[in-house]
């Protein structure tokens, strides 16, 4: 008997796309969903990515794999590239590394480093607002939680609001050249 293979879809979710297949309850709107890009039956998102965030979203047809990826106790590492307002100093970076106090409690420690703008990053449509009097900086953050808007809340808590947020990797899987709106299927 041939073993059943699980499917895993790596999708580069564009900005302004919902991380779900339908937009129930919002009739009369033209909000884009996963169904505008992915026509594979039986796969579901393993976790979420906010509408105003971009990057890697994993979908699978395997419930156990979905749980391993998205369950808080699994502590799956997620790496984000965040374009933040201002130039974070060592104090702000250390706060992010040690964990930040949010309204819903302290975050776990994070791996954080300043980076150059990623060379394979696509232009965002629409572009972020640019203020000539305030510089912006790219940082890489790797967290093992998945609270609602966590990275945005963390950077704001240390005085550097996120202007653009791109998820680059989840666990062992990364964007690896996927353009916005493209997906790649793997069999596990």
187 phi/psi in degrees, rounded to 5: -110, 130
The count of C-alpha atoms lying within 13 angstroms of the C-alpha of 60, restricted to the half-sphere facing its C-beta, is 20
Please confirm whether the linkage preceding 126 is cis (ω < 30° from 0). Answer: yes
- CATH class (in words) of the domain with range 77-170: alpha beta
**Whether the predicted pLDDT of 1 surpasses 60:** no
pLDDT, mean of residues 3-27: 86
Catalytic residue chosen out of the listed positions 23, 30, 36, 50: 50
**Which fold does the domain 7-72+173-187 belong to in CATH?**
Alpha-Beta Plaits (3.30.70)
Return the structure tokens found at 73.
């106790």
| Size of the chain, expressed as the number of residues it contains | 188
User: What's the confidence (pLDDT) of residue 43?
Assistant: 95
Residues 6+ apart with CB under 8 A from 114: 88, 93, 137, 138, 139
Q: How far apart are CA 162 and CA 153, in angstroms?
A: 8
pLDDT digits (tens, 9 = 90+) for 40-85: 999 999 989 999 999 999 999 999 999 888 888 888 999 999 999 9
Kindly indicate the confidence band of residue 8, based on its pLDDT and cuts at 50, 70 and 90.
very high
User: What's the confidence (pLDDT) of residue 152?
Assistant: 97
Domain with CATH 3.30.70.1560 in the chain: 77-170
Q: How far apart are CA 183 and CA 40, in angstroms?
A: 11
Kindly indicate the confidence band of residue 28, based on its pLDDT and cuts at 50, 70 and 90.
low
Which residue, among 164, 169, 118, 161, has the nearest Cα to 143 in the 3D structure?
169
Domain with CATH 3.30.70.580 in the chain: 7-72+173-187
Q: Sign (positive/negative) of CA torsion 35, 37, 40, 46?
A: negative
pLDDT digits (tens, 9 = 90+) for 76-103: 999 999 999 999 999 999 999 999 999 9
pLDDT digits (tens, 9 = 90+) for 120-179: 899 998 888 888 888 999 999 999 998 889 999 999 999 999 999 999 999 999 999 999
Instruction: Identify any residues that bridge with 139 across adjacent strands, giving them in sequence order.
Output: 82, 114
H helices present in 77-182, as ranges: 90-98, 150-157
User: Is residue 50 annotated as a catalytic residue, yes or no?
Assistant: yes
User: What's the confidence (pLDDT) of residue 132?
Assistant: 83
**Whether the predicted pLDDT of 104 surpasses 80:** yes
**Whether the predicted pLDDT of 26 surpasses 70:** no
One-character DSSP codes across 46-61: SS---TT-EEEEEEES
Q: How far apart are CA 2 and CA 54, in angstroms?
A: 37
């Amino acid at each position: 008997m041939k073993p059943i293979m699980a499917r895993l879809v790596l999708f580069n979710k564009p900005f302004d796309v919902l991380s779900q297949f339908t937009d129930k309850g919002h009739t009369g709107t033209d909000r884009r969903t996963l169904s505008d890009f992915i026509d594979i039956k039986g796969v579901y998102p393993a976790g979420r990515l906010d509408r105003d965030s971009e990057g890697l979203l994993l979908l699978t047809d395997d419930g156990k794999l979905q749980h391993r990826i998205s369950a808080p106790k699994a502590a799956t590492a997620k790496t984000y590239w965040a374009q933040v307002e201002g130039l974070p100093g060592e104090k702000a970076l250390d706060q992010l590394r040690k964990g930040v106090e949010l309204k819903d409690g302290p975050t776990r420690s994070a791996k954080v480093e300043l980076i150059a703008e990623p060379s394979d990053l696509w232009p965002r449509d629409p572009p972020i607002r640019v203020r000539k009097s305030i510089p912006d900086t790219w940082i890489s953050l790797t967290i093992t939680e998945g609270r609602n808007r966590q990275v945005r809340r963390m950077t704001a808590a240390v005085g550097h609001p996120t202007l653009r947020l791109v998820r680059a990797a989840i666990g062992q899987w990364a964007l690896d050249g996927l353009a916005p709106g493209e997906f790649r299927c793997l069999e596990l």
